[in-house]
């Protein structure tokens, strides 16, 4: 996966570096995705100026996840994002970037304080409520990123599971006359689900990157 990413983007970077207009379908396709992530995902979520600092991470995350997702569509290859170990590391990376951004912008204490939203409360109520909200928000910070990993994992794994179930119907009816009806239906359904998986591959890469950008933006500009 890493080699594929490097093989695609390093030669392309040499062409784009010249500042010339994109030529060819491949260059246009990849550059469209690159610009989409920057202009439609990162900049609206983080802000025009700050977003450029996070583009290397967001581009890497987007294309790493996309390539991993697309891997699952190639026969005899699995999708790495269909394993929780991979998606958890990706979500943990985003969490690190979020915490790093918050600490760099606001300082450690400022970042922790920023977890509590500003509330106009009487002192008597603020004393029990603010620590509680701080705790909830802190746990929520980790839960958000945990959900980020689960969402990606579940979507990719579910697609493979559905494919496996559809193909299992053929094995189950093998040897009986039902197989003549089941096999074409299963294969047709598998083709349809594969096309859906192709869409999901892009969608999940987008969602992960978009939510990462939102979390980073929230850490950089808490209020």
Partner 1 sequence: MLRLNLLAEGDAPVTALDPDLAFFTVVVFGLTFLVLWRFAWKPIAEGLDRRERGIADQIDRAKSDAAKAAETLRGYEAKLSGAAEEATRILAQAKTEAQAAGERILAEARAEAEAARTRALADIASAKEQAVRELAKLHVDSAVSLAGSLIRKEVDAKGHQDLIQDSLQRFASRN
Nearest to 157 by CA among 78, 220, 214, 90: 78
Nearer to partner 1, 182 or 201 (CB): 182
Nearer to partner 1, 7 or 119 (CB): 7
In angstroms, give the least distance from the CB of 86 to partner 1. 5
Nearer to partner 1, 14 or 25 (CB): 14
Q: Find the binding residues for partner 1 in span 80-99 (CB under 8 A).
A: 80, 83-86, 88-90, 93
Q: Does 6 bind partner 1 (CB under 8 A)?
A: yes
Q: Does 152 bind partner 1 (CB under 8 A)?
A: no
Nearest to 47 by CA among 56, 36, 59, 55: 55
3 CB-contact burial (10 Å; exposed 0-12 / middle 13-18 / buried 19+): exposed
Rounded CA-CA distance 18/2 in Å is: 25
From candidates 127, 164, 185, 191, binder to partner 1 by CB under 8 A = 164
Burial track 186-202 (b if 16+ CB lie within 10 A, e otherwise):
beebbeebeeebeebbe
From candidates 161, 178, 181, 195, binder to partner 1 by CB under 8 A = 161
Residues counted in the chain: 223
Residues that bind partner 1 (CB under 8 A): 1-2, 5-6, 9-10, 12-21, 34-35, 38, 52, 55-57, 59-60, 64, 80, 83-86, 88-90, 93, 157, 161, 164-165, 168-169, 172
């Amino acid at each position: 996966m890493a080699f594929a990413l490097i093989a695609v983007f390093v030669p392309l970077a040499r062409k784009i570096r010249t500042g010339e207009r994109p030529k060819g379908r491949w260059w246009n396709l990849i550059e469209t995705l690159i610009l989409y992530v920057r202009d439609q995902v990162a900049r609206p979520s983080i802000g025009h100026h700050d977003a450029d600092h996070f583009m290397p991470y967001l581009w890497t995350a987007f294309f790493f996840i996309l390539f991993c997702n697309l891997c699952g569509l190639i026969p005899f290859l699995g999708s790495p994002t269909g394993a929780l170990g991979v998606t958890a590391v990706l979500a943990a990376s985003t969490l690190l970037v979020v915490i790093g951004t918050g600490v760099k912008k606001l300082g450690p204490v400022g970042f922790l304080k920023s977890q509590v939203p500003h509330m106009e409360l009487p002192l008597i109520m603020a004393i029990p409520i603010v620590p509680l909200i701080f705790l909830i928000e802190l746990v929520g910070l980790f839960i958000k990123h945990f959900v980020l990993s689960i969402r990606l994992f579940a979507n990719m794994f579910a697609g493979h599971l559905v494919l496996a179930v559809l193909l299992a119907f053929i094995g189950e009816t093998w040897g009986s006359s039902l197989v003549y009806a089941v096999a074409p239906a299963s294969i047709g359904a598998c083709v349809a689900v594969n096309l859906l998986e192709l869409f999901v591959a892009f969608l999940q890469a987008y969602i992960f990157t978009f939510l990462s950008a939102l979390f980073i933006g929230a850490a950089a500009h808490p209020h």
